[in-house]
Amino acid sequence: MSNSQRILEILKVDGASTSADIAKKLDITPMGARQHLLQLHKKELVSHFQKAEKVGRPSQYWQLTKSAHDSFGDGHNHLASNLIQQISVVFGDEGLNKILDAREQAIEIEYLEALNKCERISDKLDELVRLRNKEGYMATWHAEGEHFWFVENHCPICEAAKSCQQLCASERNLFGKCFKNVAMVEREEHILQGQRRCTYKLTPKTI
């Protein structure tokens, strides 16, 4: 993978970053990172803005453009969206709901089988990240204070979800079931609400 491609992935996962931040992750000089960023800027894949810092002059931050976001692995997005529309036309909303319910149940069985083998929340999150990344969600997790945060930096079914809100609702319900006995799950950020990623806050349950 080229440094330019790696920069796009860094910005996708980390959000807006300075050239110095990017250089550290690539183990290159800030000047080298800036040259790659300028090339990506010419291709309209990144843009930049000034952000005030606590001390000193404002820093220049780089972020992905919409074109860059759209370039991440959505090969089946348009097909999925069309299929949902056609199912609704042919079988009606009731038929569509039955198909989506069957899909949700099948995914739930797969996920619960994997996560129920894990006892600790951290191990369950490791397994969930593995499952979601296999499906193209660019998922990560981290702990912050008493909370755990599960993050999906990309949604490979975003276009389909725009035409069928049940897909997003079923995802939230699925995560709740996966951690039912150990944590409360709340969605804090949502790609369909215009935010750059979907994030879920997990609050451990006290016994």
- What span, in angstroms and rounded, lies between the C-alpha atoms of 75 and 72? 9
The first and second tokens of residue 4, run together, are 């330019």
- Determine the 3-state secondary structure of 61 from DSSP: strand
Model pLDDT, residue 80: 63
Q: Do 35 and 119 share a structural domain?
A: no
Domain count, the chain: 2
Q: Take residue 145 and report the two structure tokens written for it.
A: 């204070």
What's the pLDDT tens digit per position in 149-179? 999 998 887 877 777 777 788 888 899 999 9
Q: What's the pLDDT tens digit per position in 77-129?
A: 555 667 777 777 777 778 777 888 888 889 999 999 999 999 999 999 999 99
Is residue 108 located within the same domain as residue 185?
yes
Residue-averaged pLDDT of the chain: 87
User: Contact 154/138 with Cβ under 8 angstroms?
Assistant: yes
Nearest to 202 by CA among 125, 126, 135: 125
Report the alpha-carbon distance of residue 5 to residue 173 in Å, rounded.
34
What is the per-residue pLDDT across 133-149, written as a single tens digit (0 to 9) for each? 988 899 999 999 999 99
Question: What gap in Å lies between CA 57 and CA 128, rounded to an integer?
Answer: 41
Residues 47 and 106 reside in one and the same domain: no
Q: What is the CATH number of the domain that holds 53?
A: 1.10.10.10
Residue-range definition of the domain harbouring residue 21: 3-70
pTM here is 0.71
